[in-house]
Structure 1
Amino acid sequence: MLHYLGYFAAIFIGLSLGILGGGGSILTVPVLVYLMGVSPVLSTAYSLFIVGSTSLVGAAGYFRKGLVALPTALVFLGPSLLAVFLTRKVLVPALPHELFTIGSLVFTKDLLVLVAFAVLMVAAATSMIRSGRPDAAADEPLGKTNYPLVLTIGAVVGLLTGFVGAGGGFLIIPALVLFARLPMKLAVGTSLAIIALNSLIGFSGDLSTGRAMDWSFLLGFLAFALGGIVLGTYLARFIPGASLKPAFGWFTLAMGAFILTKELLFHHA
């Protein structure tokens, strides 16, 4: 039964990526861990492939409409790609299985990934809940691009993408709107292009370590997510993403709180 819910969630992940340009990837790891039974660290690798491939299809749709700002994407991707590849190739494999202990709670690599992911979910939810005002004001480009901030946020997104397997759309969209001065629709398409390359480069770091992948499972899950993003890209013509972000944000906040409660308070239950 949980597996069927997991495949339904895959459609929802693609749907939110297509409409919002981000957000859905924050659910991929929890879905893989709690519904599909994949280990947390392996889930981050699977998430990179699923989110990257799904975003690539979505970005292609926006690109055909002229809604991808390639120069801005390239500026953002420089530090981001380097950070995500090094994180997957060097940092994650170098972490020992048991990291530290707080009281009776042993922080393993798997537990650290889940806790970090839950904290990221809470931050993402806060961003989405509060993002109505910036988005509403972002119908037209304003002023010049703040390149130092775009580069800095690119590096931060790359690190987060590599460590927890999320695309980072909740950081990319505000950065593109507020600092790169892109209108919202253009920011969504550009975000998908950045997420796609970031995630797939990160996944290549996992492949280079020789980690075994269940390709039949991965491709099956991806098929459902791709169906969702095709539908989401179509619905984005009629549904303003800004109106959906707060509701999605509250849902993400609840999921983050659930993971923190389960893993920190009931980890040994």
Structure 2
Amino acid sequence: MTELVLALVAGAVTGLALGALGGGGSVLAVPALVYLLGFTPAAAGTASLIIVTVTSAGALYAHARDGQVRWRTGLLFSAAGLLPAMLGGMAAGRLPSAALTVAFAVIAAAAALRMLRPAAPAHADHVVRPGRAAAAGAGLGAVTGVLGVGGGFLAVPALVGVLGLRMRQAVGTGLLVIIVNSVAALTVRAGTAGAVDWAVVAPFTAAAVLGAWDGKRLATKVSGAGLQRIFARVLLAVAAFMVVDVAV
């Protein structure tokens, strides 16, 4: 019963982050699965990709309905990240758990610090540069494959800071990137990962789906800058905890 309650609570928080911020689901789901539910880092990476893919699909529909998805930009990111995500998934099985944990924390902290920096305001007529979008997408795909995360916690700041999207457009578009990158990484991990513990993953996913709808409503009540600050502080807290855990 305790495990079920933990899965439901962690899933709700994960979904809330995905719905409101367009990312952060995996960066919250992986530590929750490892530290609260006893998963190994490898199993947590695979499970989190399943959870975030399903949750992101529901959240993407809601954002698309409101016209907050830049499909061309998202597809450029996604196409560029497919091969790196698969190659990263193959490499992940050869890396020690401690190295993966530290890398995860470093990437999360870097994304948080980037979002805390003042950014130039985006404009509706901002021109998307395919080369920059493709390069950023490839990097995100590699991170997804190696670390077992959807990549939204990096996609959102990249879409805002590199390509000039407004925060809410970046949130919706980031969900598209998450889905494609996660499916690509899962394709590779499915052959090497152990059996999925559906008794935990299923309730976790169900709670995340419901939480994402609440997160979508939250996004309409909080400013884009406010969302960025919340997201960044959560990422920094998670990164610090994981580094300390490895060190001790």
Q: Give the alignment's TM-score, normalised by structure 2.
A: 0.90
Correspondence 1:31-46 to 2 at 5 A: 31-46=32-47
Displacement of 1:92: 2.2
Give the counterpart of 1:167 among 142, 150, 165: 150
**Where does the alignment leave 5 or more consecutive residues of structure 1 unmatched?**
97-108
Which residue pairs with 1:134 in the alignment?
119
* CA pair 180-125 structure 1, distance change in 2 beyond 3 A: closer
* CA pair 3-123 structure 1, distance change in 2 beyond 3 A: farther
Bigger radius of gyration: 1
2:165 aligned with 1:182: yes
Moved over 4 A (4+): none
The answer to whether the 8 A contact 2:34-2:40 is kept is yes
The answer to whether the 8 A contact 1:84-1:198 is kept is yes
2:112 aligned with 1:125: yes
2:31 aligned with 1:30: yes
Which residue pairs with 1:104 in the alignment?
none
Give the counterpart of 1:235 among 196, 205, 218: 218
2:222 aligned with 1:221: no
Partner SS state of residue 119, structure 2: helix
Instruction: Give per-residue Cα distances to partners, 1:76-122, cap 9 Å, x unaligned.
Output: 1112112112222x2223x16xxxxxxxxxxxx22122111121222
Residues in 2 aligned to 1:70 and 1:4: alpha-carbon distance in whole angstroms:
37
Residues in 1 aligned to 2:83 and 2:193: alpha-carbon distance in whole angstroms:
20
Which residue pairs with 1:105 in the alignment?
none
Partner SS state of residue 69, structure 2: coil
Which residue pairs with 2:97 in the alignment?
110
- How large is the Cα RMSD of the aligned pairs? 2.1
The answer to whether the 8 A contact 1:146-1:179 is kept is no
* CA pair 249-179 structure 1, distance change in 2 beyond 3 A: closer
The answer to whether the 8 A contact 2:57-2:175 is kept is yes
Residues in 2 aligned to 1:5 and 1:13: alpha-carbon distance in whole angstroms:
12
Displacement of 1:210: 6.2
Instruction: Give per-residue Cα distances to partners, 1:111-158, cap 9 Å, x unaligned.
Output: 12211112122213213333xx327x23x3243212211111111101
Partner SS state of residue 66, structure 1: coil
Q: Give the alignment's TM-score, normalised by structure 1.
A: 0.84
**Where does the alignment leave 5 or more consecutive residues of structure 2 unmatched?**
none
**Number of equivalent positions:** 247
Identity of aligned residues (%): 37
Amino acid at match of 1:65: D
